[in-house]
Chain A
Amino acid sequence: MIQTEDRPHVVDVRGLSKVYGAGATAFEALKEVDFHADAGEFVMLSGPSGSGKTTLLSILGCVLRPTAGHVKLFDRDVAGAREDELPALRLGLVGFVFQGFNLIASLSARDNIALVLQLRGWQPDDANAEAEKLLGEVGIPDKANSLPRDLSGGQRQRVAIARAIAGHPPLLLADEPTANLDGHTGLQVTEMLKNLARAHGSTVVVVTHDNRIFHLADRIVHIEDGRIQEVSK
């Protein structure tokens, strides 16, 4: 495992287990997993389908509770957080990029981004201005008023990335961000995610099995059968 002692572990997972179901149908998706990510690091989680990588991402994103283990995000024990504390933790700490983009269909590109900012307490005018600035950063400044249905897959993922980095959350989690994009666009979008995260100082964890983008990772963590099998750079 590569340790970067000069940088703090902003994501620190120890002995993490997750069991779905109970009794005879119980399925252990994660088994005693230890994982960390450092400030500003770009980490990829790879592995076959059903290996547990999305479960790990979900727990890091505070959208899923672990069965056992410790999860610390930015010195905050999120595994022990109360259920009603989780939305605020997600809002404050995490930006998400989803495989299916998950934009709100009725909101324009600008409004999709501004929504997150307003939830974080930004005034509407400031949120709109920031959203337009972010659309410029992801290379589609002219699409502010477009609805998701009027955008291409690549453009939608750019909006999703702008939404994820809006308000500069310290942790970005991306689930198969290239799965619905062609090879060239997928690479472009991932490079953009990495560059923007670096510019904003965010730590990024990407779940992917797209080997065309592996070279962009600072570290690749390979998961199989609910256990971390290999860590490589």
Chain B
Amino acid sequence: MSAPRSTSDIRTASAMWTGKPAFGLRLRTMVRVGARMMFHDKLKLAGTLFGVIFAVVLTNQQVGVFLGLLSKNTMFIDHAGADLWIVPGSTETLQAGKPVPMDALYQARTTPGVAWAEPLLFGGATVSLPAGGSEPVTLVGTKSPAFRGGPWNIVAGSVTALRRPDTMIFEDSQRDQLGGLNLGSVREVNGHSTVVGGFTWGLLPFAPAYAFAEYDHARELMGTPSDETSFVLVGVAPGANRDSVARALQARVSRNLVLSAPEFHSRVLRYLLVQTGIGATTGMSTLFGLLIGLIIVSLSMFSAVIDNIREFGTLKAIGCRNRDLALLLLVQSSVYALLGSLIGLRMVALMVENMHSPKFALVLPWQAYAGTPLLMVLLCGLASLLALTRIRNIEPAMVFR
């Protein structure tokens, strides 16, 4: 393009130079300038990334602990292998409460579409320690020979050990707490002499650890009447419709509640989230992590604009529009978000890998890994608004001062 030398040339030039290149080209230009500005000031880059990483690690750690806690409280339902549960009418969580009459078991066994039904006892028990004192356990009675409902994750001994008289299986991580348990150790449980026949790994709910006994042994230990049980586990026959069987069963055991395993799982989750305050507590700390991250990123980006205010003024003076500079900030905030998420999630993955014990586990589903970068892009976009406000107010005339 040659420069205008006459009035007509001038008119032509003025008309041609509308300064409106395609959006794609503007975007590419702003991506390039934004990225260069970011990586030029490495200290500022590190500071801002720290904010994003902090938010990513803290929120995912909180979510992981929370989900780990929830899974500890629902793992029994998930591992019991039952399609349907018959529970007392007021049941909100997996705890011993009002008993279920044994009639419900027989009703279940004679309901069309039911493949099997077994009773499950649940209750508190006390293990007396050799050196004095006692420790509580959650005693679970499961019916031989199928042992529906557990135990699982057996790391020593075998489930068949429960067929031996007065034998129980305990949680491996509680061995020291229960006075140095070993296979063959003898302890008094609720005043009855009991032999250790095996150990499970990680069966620790948000309550005393599970300890398993054969159903009749457990009933004897807890003094449960023979016409009562805690829950009834039901397996649906292949080809039968679970919901139809549940409806039929519910009609026959109207004083109790028939829940599918997923329904019972959700009911327990709802109870934990709403009634116990765990949801609110964890939610608050997760929000706190996000808020701190938001503040750090916001202040870092604002400070980067202040540090480079003359450059932004120059960009405005040479023809950048506010929306171009908004694009530049958006590019920067997205890069901060994605880079910070990448580093933060790697740290979280290492935590998940290494912080796995029977008592504590971080549980992070793939949705957390996939959702974090998106959340961070939103968060950093929000954080860039403060910087954008400052940029909007920059007078391009400042370049002449």
Q: Contact residues of A with B, CB < 8 Å? A: 8, 10, 39-40, 54, 57-58, 61, 63-64, 73-76, 84, 87-93, 96, 98-100, 102, 104-107, 111, 115-116, 118-124, 163, 167-170, 175, 200-202
For residue A101, give the distance in angstroms from its CB to the closest CB of chain B.
9
Q: How far is the CA of A214 from the CA of B334 in the complex (A)?
A: 50
Partner of A104, one of B18, B311, B319: B311
Q: How far is the CA of A121 from the CA of B18 in the complex (A)?
A: 10
Q: A74-B11, A124-B28 are in contact. Are A98 and B399 (CB under 8 A)?
A: yes
B36-62 CB mask vs A (1 if < 8 Å, else 0) is: 110111000000000000000000000
Partner of B13, one of A57, A74, A123: A74
Q: How far is the CA of A40 from the CA of B29 in the complex (A)?
A: 31
Q: How far is the CA of A200 from the CA of B1 in the complex (A)?
A: 10
Q: Are A90 and B317 in contact (CB under 8 A)?
A: yes
Which of A57, A90, A124 lies at the interface centre, i.e. has the most chain B CB atoms within 10 A of its CB?
A90
Q: How far is the CA of A157 from the CA of B17 in the complex (A)?
A: 25
Q: Are A92 and B14 in contact (CB under 8 A)?
A: yes
Cβ of B3 within 8 Å of any chain A Cβ, yes or no, is yes
- A selection of 18 A-B contacts at a CB cut-off of 8 Å is A39-B7, A63-B317, A63-B395, A64-B397, A74-B13, A92-B17, A93-B17, A102-B310, A105-B311, A106-B33, A111-B36, A115-B33, A119-B318, A119-B319, A121-B19, A169-B3, A201-B2, A202-B3
Besides the known contacts A10-B10, A87-B316, A102-B311, 7 further A-B residue pairs in the complex with CB atoms under 8 A apart: A63-B316, A104-B311, A111-B36, A120-B19, A163-B318, A170-B3, A201-B2
Q: Are B400 and A175 in contact (CB under 8 A)?
A: yes
Q: Are B4 and A74 in contact (CB under 8 A)?
A: yes
Q: How far is the CA of A61 from the CA of B19 in the complex (A)?
A: 15
Which of B4, B20, B396 lies at the interface centre, i.e. has the most chain A CB atoms within 10 A of its CB?
B4
B305-328 CB mask vs A (1 if < 8 Å, else 0) is: 000101101111111110010000
Kindly list the 4 A-B residue pairs having the minimum CB-CB distance in the complex, ordered from nearest.
Answer: A91-B319, A92-B17, A106-B40, A121-B21
Q: Contact residues of B with A, CB < 8 Å? A: 1-7, 10-11, 13-14, 16-22, 25-26, 28-29, 32-33, 36-37, 39-41, 308, 310-311, 313-321, 324, 395-397, 399-401
Q: How far is the CA of A111 from the CA of B32 in the complex (A)?
A: 10
Residues of A within 8 A of B10 (CB): 8, 10, 39, 74-75, 170
Q: Are A118 and B29 in contact (CB under 8 A)?
A: yes
Q: How far is the CA of A104 from the CA of B22 in the complex (A)?
A: 23
Q: Are B7 and A8 in contact (CB under 8 A)?
A: yes
Q: Are B314 and A91 in contact (CB under 8 A)?
A: no
Residues of B within 8 A of A63 (CB): 316-317, 395-397, 399-400
- For A88, give the chain B residue with the smallest CB separation: B19
Residues of B within 8 A of A10 (CB): 4, 10
Q: Are B321 and A84 in contact (CB under 8 A)?
A: yes
Q: Are B320 and A119 in contact (CB under 8 A)?
A: yes
Q: How far is the CA of A39 from the CA of B29 in the complex (A)?
A: 32
Q: Are A39 and B21 in contact (CB under 8 A)?
A: no
Q: Are A75 and B314 in contact (CB under 8 A)?
A: no
Residues of A within 8 A of B321 (CB): 84, 87-88
Residues of A within 8 A of B395 (CB): 63-64
Residues of B within 8 A of A106 (CB): 33, 36-37, 39-41
Q: A87-B320, A175-B400 are in contact. Are A75 and B7 (CB under 8 A)?
A: yes
* Interface residues of chain B: helix, strand, loop or mixed (majority): helix
Residues of A within 8 A of B1 (CB): 167-168
Q: How far is the CA of A75 from the CA of B11 in the complex (A)?
A: 7
For residue B110, give the distance in angstroms from its CB to the closest CB of chain A.
79
Q: Are A88 and B20 in contact (CB under 8 A)?
A: yes
Q: How far is the CA of A87 from the CA of B321 in the complex (A)?
A: 6
Residues of B within 8 A of A58 (CB): 397, 400
Q: How far is the CA of A168 from the CA of B3 in the complex (A)?
A: 6
Q: How far is the CA of A116 from the CA of B125 in the complex (A)?
A: 79
Q: How far is the CA of A226 from the CA of B54 in the complex (A)?
A: 55
Q: Are B400 and A57 in contact (CB under 8 A)?
A: yes
Residues of B within 8 A of A92 (CB): 13-14, 16-19, 319
Partner of A121, one of B6, B25, B32, B318: B25
Which of B3, B311, B321 lies at the interface centre, i.e. has the most chain A CB atoms within 10 A of its CB?
B3
Q: Are B29 and A115 in contact (CB under 8 A)?
A: yes
Q: Are B318 and A88 in contact (CB under 8 A)?
A: no
Residues of B within 8 A of A100 (CB): 310
- For A102, give the chain B residue with the smallest CB separation: B314
Q: Are B311 and A91 in contact (CB under 8 A)?
A: no
Q: Are B36 and A91 in contact (CB under 8 A)?
A: no
Partner of A120, one of B21, B316, B317: B21
Q: How far is the CA of A63 from the CA of B401 in the complex (A)?
A: 12
Q: How far is the CA of A202 from the CA of B3 in the complex (A)?
A: 6
Q: A74-B14, A202-B3 are in contact. Are A90 and B400 (CB under 8 A)?
A: no
Residues of B within 8 A of A124 (CB): 28-29
For residue A115, give the distance in angstroms from its CB to the closest CB of chain B.
6
For residue A228, give the distance in angstroms from its CB to the closest CB of chain B.
19
For residue A135, give the distance in angstroms from its CB to the closest CB of chain B.
17
Partner of A116, one of B6, B311, B318: B318
Residues of B within 8 A of A61 (CB): 317, 400
Partner of B14, one of A93, A119, A200: A93
- For B41, give the chain A residue with the smallest CB separation: A106
Residues of A within 8 A of B6 (CB): 8, 39
- For A197, give the chain B residue with the smallest CB separation: B3
Q: Are B400 and A88 in contact (CB under 8 A)?
A: no
For residue A206, give the distance in angstroms from its CB to the closest CB of chain B.
13
Q: Are B18 and A88 in contact (CB under 8 A)?
A: yes
Q: How far is the CA of A84 from the CA of B399 in the complex (A)?
A: 19
For residue B19, give the distance in angstroms from its CB to the closest CB of chain A.
4
For residue B320, give the distance in angstroms from its CB to the closest CB of chain A.
7
